[in-house]
Amino acid sequence: MSEVEQLEFLDHAVPKRRQRRFSLGTMVLLTGFLALALALALQLARQNATQPTGGPAPDFHLKLFDGGELRLSELRGQVLLLNFWASWCPPCRDEAPDLQALHSDFSEAGLTVIGINILESSREKALDYINEFGISYPNGEDTGQFIAKLYRVEAPPESFLIDRTGEIQRFVLGALSYDDMSRSIRELLAS
């Protein structure tokens, strides 16, 4: 075989590269994968939504344990401290005396503390808790957890400090303390 014939032979022996194209099945698979990834990302974004830590406080209506009713929007002009609690929650029990002290010390200056009972096993246990700690500020049960959902409450205790215009100024995850909260309350009452 001559050199030219050998080169021609080798040319035929080595397959020429074909341009790769995606098959219909591959395209369907990729599209399905992208749709699944998008759905998972949206679900994760919803799960990672956090409590509102600023902006307007979501309005709600609360039936109080004493038979009264309360609408958040009707309390504009006051500094508000919303506290989500449950009687079985140890940090809630730890902060209960501090919440009552804040109410006693600042209510005449324009602070309204509002207790919102969530995830409770019975109304009686909530009322026993209120009596045990001598709580005198308004408290009601969030039946159906509608208010907790508005505020994206994960677990008690969680508290929201709201200024006179209805804007959330502070979010506290876990038990709050009198000393820490009183500074923030004084600032909002002074403004």
Mean pLDDT for 49-63 is 84
Question: How far lies 83's CA from each of 10, 42, 142, 161, in Å?
Answer: 83, 30, 12, 9
Residues 6+ apart with CB under 8 A from 174: 91, 157, 158
157 — phi, psi (to 5°)? -90, 145
Decide: helix, strand or coil at residue 4: helix
pLDDT digits (tens, 9 = 90+) for 105-129: 999 999 999 999 999 989 999 999 9
Is residue 39 scored above 70 in pLDDT?
A: no
What is d(CA 14, CA 19) in angstroms, rounded to the nearest whole number? 15
How high is the mean pLDDT of the chain? 85
| pTM for the full predicted model | 0.74
Is residue 62 scored above 50 in pLDDT?
A: yes
List the end-to-end C-alpha distance of the chain, in Å, as a whole number. 101
Match 């994960």 to its residue by tokens. Answer: 154
Highest mean pLDDT among 50-54, 81-85, 120-124: 81-85
Contact between residue 57 and residue 162 where contact means Cβ atoms under 8 Å apart:
yes
Mean pLDDT for 36-59 is 61
Q: Which domains are present in the chain?
A: 3-47 (no CATH), 61-190 (3.40.30.10)
122 — phi, psi (to 5°)? -160, 155
If one compares 39 and 165, the residue with the highest pLDDT of the two is: 165
If one compares 163 and 23, the residue with the highest pLDDT of the two is: 163
